[in-house]
Amino acid sequence: MVAGVSARPERKPADLLAGFAVLALLGGFLAYAVIDKGRPAESGYRLNATFAHIDGLAVGSDVRLAGITVGQVVDERVDPKTFAAGVTFTVRPDIKLPDDTAAIITSDSLLGGKYIALSPGGDDRMLRPGATIGETQGSISLEQLLSKFIFSVTDTLTQANQARAHAQQSGATDTTAAPAARPPAAPAPLDAPTSGREP
């Protein structure tokens, strides 16, 4: 053996197996946590709703009533005939919703996550499990909001610039068209005073 080089201890097969077992357990727990987190809760009865757009709404998103979470989105799909977005979500079994309840996709803030807000109506009839909500309002994407804001600002600036240019042009035209002011005429000379004698 060369001096100064220590021999590496040989690893036993049992130690290697134990290490692999620990890694496998950690991987299993991590996979379970990720899958379980993405799996929506199934408690409560299901309702359906159709939206034109559901940008930002995902399976597992909240369903809220008066700001309180009462369910979750469990399924999303596209209707092959109308090309609209169909959403299925759950509602707590102790909450009964009127038949004219509205479902609105909204968000906590401009960059916040989307959720479905339920707005109960005044109908005496209640929605049954599996029913479809008729009154819905889809999601407005951030790009649409920004484009509308930019278009509004650009249009306002364009109108302001046009008004300013028109005012400047009108002022220059008035100055050019105005005739030059004539100097005041000299006063007529006074007659010389007479000496008091008649010629």
Q: How many CB atoms lie within 10 A of CB 63?
A: 24
Residue 177 has what pLDDT?
54
CA 23 to chain CA centroid, nearest Å: 42
User: What is d(CA 47, CA 99) in angstroms, rounded to the nearest whole number?
Assistant: 11
Q: How many domains does the chain have?
A: 1
User: What is d(CA 152, CA 47) in angstroms, rounded to the nearest whole number?
Assistant: 39
Please tell me what DSSP assigns to residue 126. Answer: B
- Answer whether residue 158 is part of any domain: no
User: What is d(CA 146, CA 39) in angstroms, rounded to the nearest whole number?
Assistant: 33
- Answer whether residue 196 is part of any domain: no
Give the residue from 92, 87, 97, 137 showing the smallest Cα distance to 120: 97
Across the chain, the runs of DSSP E, i.e. the strands, are 45-51, 62-65, 68-78, 85-91, 102-107, 114-119, 132-133, 135-137
Is residue 102 classed as helix, strand or coil in its secondary structure? strand
Whole-model pTM? 0.53
User: What is d(CA 133, CA 102) in angstroms, rounded to the nearest whole number?
Assistant: 7
- Answer whether residue 25 is part of any domain: no
Residue 199 has what pLDDT?
47
- End-to-end CA distance of the chain, in Å? 159
- Answer whether residue 77 is part of any domain: yes
- Answer whether residue 130 is part of any domain: yes
- Answer whether residue 12 is part of any domain: no
What does each C-alpha distance from 31 to 40, 81, 198 come to in angstroms?
Answer: 16, 37, 137
List average pLDDT for each run of 10 residues in the chain, which is 199 residues long.
53 70 74 52 85 90 94 94 94 94 87 88 92 86 62 78 82 58 59 50
Range of the domain at 63: 45-139
Amino acid identity at 74: V
